[in-house]
Structure 1
Amino acid sequence: MTRFILALLACCVCFSVSAEQFTRFSTAKRHLIKTLPDNAKSIYCGCDIKKEGKKLIPDPSNCGYIPRNTLTRSGKVNVRALRIEWEHIVPAWEFGHQLQCWQDGGRKNCRKVSAKFRKMEADINNLAPAIGEINADRSNYRFGMLSENATQYGRCEVKVNFKQRVVEPPVYARKRIADTYAYMQKTYGLKISDKQQKLFNAWKKQAFADTSSASKL
């Protein structure tokens, strides 16, 4: 229980609703790198994050992350497994395809013609530090619950089912994810399915119950 509480708190330090607003994703990322707390953890594995100049590097020594692929298909080192990237918790595809600009030309067109899209893409409340390989594997898959064990990334407890296009995040990241979806709904009118809404509501209730139980210890 103690380990779970510490992991939950470690994840939570990465998120607080911020009044900072940006209109470019690149500018938002530079701001986040500059202001990242020393105790920040990667969202899906809870790895410590080291700063090397302007780069962020995951430290797998405590979190137990092992890359799913150490090499790319071309035989080169999988550099995305060695760096921290900024993950859109609500994927750009998910909020973008609800806008007309996406229908007219995808993400590139939305960046060009839609101020709303640029603001949504650069909203730091929807961004979290994630190991690049997992950011890539998550893609625009929806969140859900999976029956298989979490073995793809060493001791990292995230699960990705590529066939079903579903990602199950570790327990300590679920409230963060649910709160972010609620924020995007309230701020931008994001539409999500009833199934997803029920899942996020359940995650928030479970997190509240776990916190209440922990406070009684």
Structure 2
Amino acid sequence: MSRSFRTVALCLFVCLFHSALLSAAPATFEAAKTQARQQVYHDRNDDGTFYCGCTWEWVGRSGGKVDHQSCGYQTRAQPNRATRIEWEHIVPASLFGQQRQCWQQGGRSNCKKSDPAFNVMEADLHNLTPAIGETNADRSNFRFGVLPGTDYRHGQCDFKVEFSDRLVEPRDAVKGQIARVWFYMHDHYNLNMATQQQRLMMAWDRQYPPTPWELERNQRIGRLMGHENLFITGERQWHLNHRNSGDGLRPASSSRAPASPAPAATRAAQAERIIGNQNSKVYHLPQGCPSYHQVSNRNIRWFDSEAEAQKQGYRKAGNCR
């Protein structure tokens, strides 16, 4: 073998190895933020933050300093967070965390330590977007909705929040993207979505089709994650009471760590788990209970059996057949 041939072969190997490293999906939320900054949004800081459309200057590995004048932003209450870029989970970590056993036994910190599947969800690049820290804080884990009578609280930023109702309405420019991310996360990780929220997301999906940037973002993230959001490409459609694929919980779908089984049910059977309403202390079965998909996400408590639910003081819904 000639020296020149060996050199070319070595260079090819190094390039392929480097490419594989670049295309690896992040294993943690911290790694995801850095990867999102460096390989997804590196050239997008002049195109606007998610909720307000403000430009920003990159600072450090994943942070940024917001230009308030670029969008007419005014600080509502948190000046430090209003000046910086933070990475927003479009589907809140608490929403998918609360549907995991680990959350009920110690919250987010326990999930990060004990549940590989939670870490995969938390680091999913499809669900991350740069936002002004204050809007990230004000959005909290509130549901999305429509707030025609609510005033703006952040200057000219087209972002409404109603704290008493725990509800947020984003600007029209991102409503369609939000809907398709919600479809993806719920389908991919077999999450429950309340009927009212399904109807809203279906309406936004129809009314606001993918923009050129949403399509480009999907491709960039797809190269890193190893899969695209099929609700953006049109290869998958959401229908009311959609049957989730659960692709993100299958061992073959992740090269990092297979999802550990739930205590009394496999991942494939997770859709058969019982939903308890923490507010009413009523539980609903996946078959025969009409209100199974109507429990608000913030009130959901998951059980693996009726005996477990009853032990925790829950009673079966009266409309179950």
- Mark yes or no: TM-score above 0.5: yes
Does 2:161 correspond to 1:160?
yes
1:34 aligns with one of 35, 38, 54: 38
Summarize the alignment of residues 90-109 of structure 1 with structure 2, pairs less than 5 Å apart.
90-109=91-110
Structure 1 unaligned blocks of 5 or more? 1-18, 73-77, 212-217
Does 2:75 correspond to 1:67?
yes
Query: What is the CA-CA distance between 1:60 and the residue it aligns to?
Result: 1.9
AA at the equivalent of 2:164: K
- Give the structure 1 partner of residue 55 of structure 2: 48
- Give the structure 1 partner of residue 65 of structure 2: 57
- Give the structure 2 partner of residue 110 of structure 1: 111
Q: Structure 1 CA distance, aligned partners of 2:177 and 2:209? A: 12
CA separation of 1:23 and 1:52: change in aligned 2, threshold 3 A:
closer
Q: Does the 8 Å contact 1:89/1:180 carry over to 2?
A: yes
Summarize the alignment of residues 1-217 of structure 1 with structure 2, pairs less than 5 Å apart.
20-35=24-39, 36-40=41-45, 41-54=48-61, 55-69=63-77, 78-208=79-209
AA at the equivalent of 1:95: F
In structure 2, the residue corresponding to 1:110 is in which secondary structure?
helix
CA separation of 1:92 and 1:170: change in aligned 2, threshold 3 A:
same
Query: What is the CA-CA distance between 1:20 and the residue it aligns to?
Result: 4.8
In structure 1, the residue corresponding to 2:105 is in which secondary structure?
helix
In structure 1, the residue corresponding to 2:129 is in which secondary structure?
strand
In structure 2, the residue corresponding to 1:67 is in which secondary structure?
coil
Query: What is the CA-CA distance between 1:147 and the residue it aligns to?
Result: 2.5
Deviation string, structure 1 residues 66-122 (Cα, Å, up to 9, x no partner): 1112xx5xxxxx210100000000001000000111111111111111000000001
Q: Structure 1 CA distance, aligned partners of 2:147 and 2:211? A: 21
Q: Does the 8 Å contact 2:177/2:210 carry over to 1?
A: no
The higher-RCO structure (CA 8 Å, 6+ apart) is: 1
Q: Structure 2 CA distance, aligned partners of 1:198 and 1:192? A: 10
CA separation of 1:210 and 1:51: change in aligned 2, threshold 3 A:
closer
Q: Structure 2 CA distance, aligned partners of 1:198 and 1:38? A: 34
Q: Does the 8 Å contact 2:176/2:210 carry over to 1?
A: no
Query: What is the CA-CA distance between 1:61 and the residue it aligns to?
Result: 2.0
Query: What is the CA-CA distance between 1:150 and the residue it aligns to?
Result: 4.0
Query: What is the CA-CA distance between 1:209 and the residue it aligns to?
Result: 11
AA at the equivalent of 2:51: Y
- Give the structure 2 partner of residue 16 of structure 1: none
- Give me the TM-score of the superposition, normalised by structure 2: 0.55
Superposed CA RMSD in Å reads 1.9
Q: Structure 2 CA distance, aligned partners of 1:210 and 1:91? A: 23
Q: Does the 8 Å contact 2:150/2:162 carry over to 1?
A: no
